[in-house]
Amino acid sequence: MNHRLTGIAVFAALAASAAVVTPALAQAQKPAAINMKAIPAAERSAMGKCVDRVLDRLKQERASYRAVKPAIAQDCDTELRAVLAAAIKVGQAGPCTTVDGCIEMARGRAGDQATEEFQRSAARR
């Protein structure tokens, strides 16, 4: 399985955080595009591998899609924090200035994206 959704999940969370922080401004304009290549490849790769491992394990266990979000949040927390910290460091985290300030949103988005991928892969079986 190859689920390269790490960037999508993390950066969707970052872009969405702009709407939470400034709803009027977010309605008036689109959030700036996140430059995923600005995030170091090592962090992106580690997150991708973690998501792949979790989804592969859940698939083997024949787990329900409901198990995906908590599994990603628990098993990939270190990797997600590293990606988020790197995004903040290079100015690609929207309004996020601390990992702790945005980690819950990033966990939720990463879990949502992984769940969608899990459901798509289950439909292809």
- The beta strand positions in the chain, using DSSP E, are none
Q: What is the pLDDT of residue 12?
A: 52
The pLDDT mean for the chain works out to: 81
Interatomic CA distance for residues 38 and 124, integer angstroms: 33
Q: What is the pLDDT of residue 83?
A: 93
The region of weakest confidence among 9-18, 22-31, 81-90 is 22-31
Give domain limits for the chain: 6-124
Q: Cβ neighbours of residue 30 under 8 Å, at least 6 residues apart?
A: none
Q: What is the pTM of this model?
A: 0.77
In tens, the pLDDT along 77-121 reads 999 999 999 999 999 888 899 999 999 999 999 999 999 999 998
Q: Residue 91: what residue type?
A: G
Determine contact, residues 69/112, Cβ cutoff 8 Å: yes
